[in-house]
Amino acid sequence: MWILGLSVVAGLVIYVFHKIFMLKNTKLSKRSSPPPGSMGLPFIGETIQFMIPSYSLDLHTFIKKRIKRFGPIFGTSLFGQPVVISTDPEFNSYLVQQEGKLVENFLGPLSNVFTQQSDNCEIYTADYIHKYFRCLTLSHVGAESIREKLLPQLEEMTKKTLHKWSTQTSIEVYESSSHMAFHFFAKHYFGYDAGKLPETGRIAEQLFTVLSKGSMTVPLNIPGTTFHKCLKEAKTTFTIMKRIVEEKRSSPENYQGDFLDQIINDKKVGKILTDDQTVYFVLGVWFATCLALSSLVTLFFKFLSEDPSVLEELRVEHEEIIKARDKPSSSLTWDEYKSMKFTQQVINEALRFEVLFPGILRTTIKDIQVKGYTIPAGWTIVLTTPTLHLNSKICDEDPLTFNPRRWKDLDSYTVSKNFKPFGGGSRQCPGAELTRASMATFLHVLVTKFRWTKIREGNVVRNPMLGFGDGFHIKIWEKDT
C-alpha cells in the first residue's frame, strides 16, 4: 500500500510541475514566439528521446524526426535547459561569426559535471580566459610545436603501440587506442611518469566515466543516478589533479615545459587562473584530444577493412614517401606530412562521420531573430555539424558511403562553409592540426609496417555521439613477419 501511495503522490507532483512548466512555456511562447518544437516533460524535457541509440552512420533519429515535423530550426529541452537545434547551414554559418555579439561559448552538459567541483564557475566563457587558453594550447599543440618536436614523438608512440598490439591475440581498437592516447598526452600536458604518478591510469579511466557518461545524462544529483556517480568520480579526479598541480608548483626544479608547467609559471607573472580553472583546462584538453583520436582510429580500421582500394591507395602514397628519402628509416618530416594529399582526404572522410558531441554549442546573449521566430536570450543553441557533413554540398551522392575521393574536386569555399569537424569562428578547436598530424602519422606507420584482419565488429551506435556497441576487434601483425 505504501508503494501505491508513494506512486500516487509522485504522479501528482509530476502533474503539478508539468502544468507549471507548460504554463511558463506558454507565456514565453506568447512573448517571444520561439521556434516550433516540443519541450517534453518537466526537468528532463526530451533528454531520454535524445539519448535513445540510433544504429546507423546517418543523422540521429531524434534530429531527423523533428526536422520532418518542425523544420530545420526547432526547439526542445535537453539536460534541464531550453534548447534550439539548428540544422540550417546559412544560419549556422552566420551564428559562428557572432561570438561575443549575439552568442557566447557554452560547454553544455560537460560543464554540469566539473563546474560543481569548482568554487569558481567562470571556467571558459570569459573572453580573456578563452584567449589565454587558446594561445596556451596552440603553443603546445599548434603547427610549430608539431613540426619542431611532436611529429617524431607521435611516430615513435605509434610504432611502439602497434608493435605491442601485434603481440596480442586480438585487441579492441577503441579501448586500446584510448589507452595509447591518454598515456602519451598525459606526459605532454602535465608531465606524466608511470613511476612517479601511478594514479594517472586511474584518472584516465575516471575521465571516460565522468565525461562520456556524465556529460550525456540528465543532471539529477540523486543517489543511484549516473550523474550522481559521475559527480563522485569527478570529485576524486579533481582531488588527484589538484595535488599534482600543488606538487609541480612546489618543485620548480622539476620544470619540464609542459602545458601545466606553463600555466603555473604564467600565474607568477600576472596571468592568473585559479587552481580549479587550471585543473579544468588540463583535464579538458587531455580528454578532448584523446577522445577524438581514439574515435578516429576506430573509424579508420572499420572503413579501411571495408574498402581495400582505399587502403591500397594509402599504401602507395606512403611507400612513395619512404622511397623518396635518402635514408628509408628516417623519421617522418613536416614536409612529408604536408605532402599527403590522399591521406588528408581519408582523414576528412572519417571526420565527416565522427561526432564527439551533437554539434557546436552556444548560449544566446540577447534575443535572436531567425525566420520569423525569436530565440530568447539565455537559451542554448546547438548548431548540428552532422547535417552539414551529410548534405548535398559535400556529398553529391551516397552520403553514408565512405568515399575519400569525393574530396578531390571540392573547392576550398565549399569545404570551409560546409565542413566544420572542429567547430567554427573564433572558438574553433585549437587542436585541429594536432588531430590531423596524429592521424596522418598513425596511418603512415600502420600501412607501411603492419597488416591486420577484422575479427569482430559491433554495431554502429549514435546516442547521439558515435560509438560501437560491442567494440571493434582486430588481429594485427608486423608486415615482415
Give the residue ranges of the annotated binding site for heme. Answer: 429
Whether the CB-CB separation of 162 and 452 falls below 8 Å is answered with no
Cis amide linkage into residue 404, ω under 30° from 0: no
Cβ-in-10-Å burial (0-12, 13-18, 19+) of 221 comes to exposed
**Closest to 35 measured CA to CA, from 361, 391, 381:** 381
Angle at 443 between CA 415 and CA 188, to 5 degrees: 90
Return the C-alpha cell found at 419.
565542413
**Closest to 410 measured CA to CA, from 312, 454, 344:** 344
3-state secondary structure of 286: helix
**Closest to 173 measured CA to CA, from 161, 183, 188:** 161
Which ranges of 33-172 would DSSP assign to H, the alpha helix?
47-51, 61-70, 89-95, 109-114, 127-141, 143-145, 151-166
**Closest to 81 measured CA to CA, from 113, 115, 47:** 47
Q: Is the dihedral of CA 306, 308, 309, 314 positive or negative?
A: positive
Return the C-alpha cell found at 14.
509530476
Element spanning 7, H or E: helix 2-32
3-state secondary structure of 335: helix
Residues annotated in a binding site: 429
